[in-house]
Structure 1
């Protein structure tokens, strides 16, 4: 693990820490907003599955409260116009998720742990698997869930910490999350912070 420790420590000393801390504060602020704002962030995470974070951010900004207000067909057309790869399917997932929006904040905070909140999301919100549910919770201020995509897998594989899996099952996801928790603990940071450093190492960007 020494290689990855050195990598993150170097990034933290490079001046990146201020940007990372600023982004983490933004996440906390979103988590204190209304159910509508939190639902909007959930829709962003539905959009980013098999799509880019930057593309999701662009579409989120363009649609705004249309995630909640637009009829499903109009939302699908808008997603298509904005260049999303799967406009009909994502519009369907978002329309189905609307039933949760009125109590979303309260429901998520009612669970005894972040892991239990994630399980509820995976079981009740179509379009959000473990990665996307973790992404959503991180983006509203939760700190102790790993967002495991193939950028993160590539970094861990490069440092010899895992073998690159062919598919990311729940069992494999939780195994890799455990490794990331160990790394975060030794670096004296939470998983939300670690993710931003690792994402920057792989992409050169500090995104949400």
Structure 2
């Protein structure tokens, strides 16, 4: 009886500590929200994502290439490369070797595999633009993971957020480090199963609800916490 009581007390203490840490994260994000410049950029970025979402397949193509390139690579540089491919037309008509040469020249870590993924994805991008709007975010993410080479849970979530969805979490290394720092996870996993990803997304959804934000807004503020700026 005593051991059960002690075990219950221990569980309660752990939960209280986790709640306290979550409240600390909530306060930090609320502080960021009071910064007028940060809030302005977040609002502008979300509006941009909505405009991309209502735009044509060419805009979706750039975001799809960006999300493929950003996997395990610097997001800012990935967007620069995707924008270069988009503006030069290579994104739509370039061969895998041509795109690989650009990626290699611009310093991407995985020029060969990402070039191949991009070429394969561009063959399907019109289907993506046609199919995704009619699906729930959960089904859309599953469809993207199944149909588009180079997209896992994180990359598919990233693409959905950048085309206007607000109810998916982009759980990358920056977000995981914040979750660890605030005791929302105990360690930094090298990879995430679909089940674990959904569990962590649920944790982040709880934080977002506590603050009164969407998951899309929360991600931008948490990214800013870790990097010092709002990106995409």
Question: TM over 0.5: same fold?
Answer: yes
- Give the deviation of 1:101 after TM superposition: 1.8
Q: Which runs of 4+ in 1 moved over 2 A?
A: none
- Give the deviation of 1:33 after TM superposition: 1.2
- Out of 115, 137, 162, the residue aligned to residue 91 of structure 1 is 115
1:11 matched residue in structure 2 = 32
State whether residues 145 and 156 of structure 2, in contact with CA within 8 Å, keep that contact through their aligned partners in structure 1: yes
- Secondary structure of the 2:125 match is helix
Q: Which runs of 5 or more residues in structure 1 are unaligned?
A: none
Alignment TM-score, normalising by the size of structure 1: 0.96
State whether residues 39 and 104 of structure 1, in contact with CA within 8 Å, keep that contact through their aligned partners in structure 2: no
- Out of 148, 151, 157, the residue aligned to residue 134 of structure 1 is 157
Q: Which runs of 5 or more residues in structure 2 are unaligned?
A: 1-21
2:3 matched residue in structure 1 = none
- Give the deviation of 1:102 after TM superposition: 2.1
- Out of 15, 20, 23, the residue aligned to residue 2 of structure 1 is 23
Max radius of gyration: which structure?
2
For 1:17 and 1:170, locate their aligned partners in 2 and report how far apart those are by CA, in whole Å: 32
2:78 matched residue in structure 1 = 56
1:72-97 CA-to-partner distances (Å, cap 9, x unmatched) read 11111111111111111011111111
1:159 matched residue in structure 2 = 182
The answer to whether residue 40 in structure 2 is matched with residue 24 in structure 1 is no
Give runs of aligned pairs for residues 59-74 of structure 1, distance below 5 A.
59-64=81-86, 65-74=89-98
1:106 matched residue in structure 2 = 130
How many residue pairs were aligned?
Answer: 207
- Give the deviation of 1:61 after TM superposition: 2.1
Alignment TM-score, normalising by the size of structure 2: 0.86
State whether residues 157 and 164 of structure 1, in contact with CA within 8 Å, keep that contact through their aligned partners in structure 2: yes
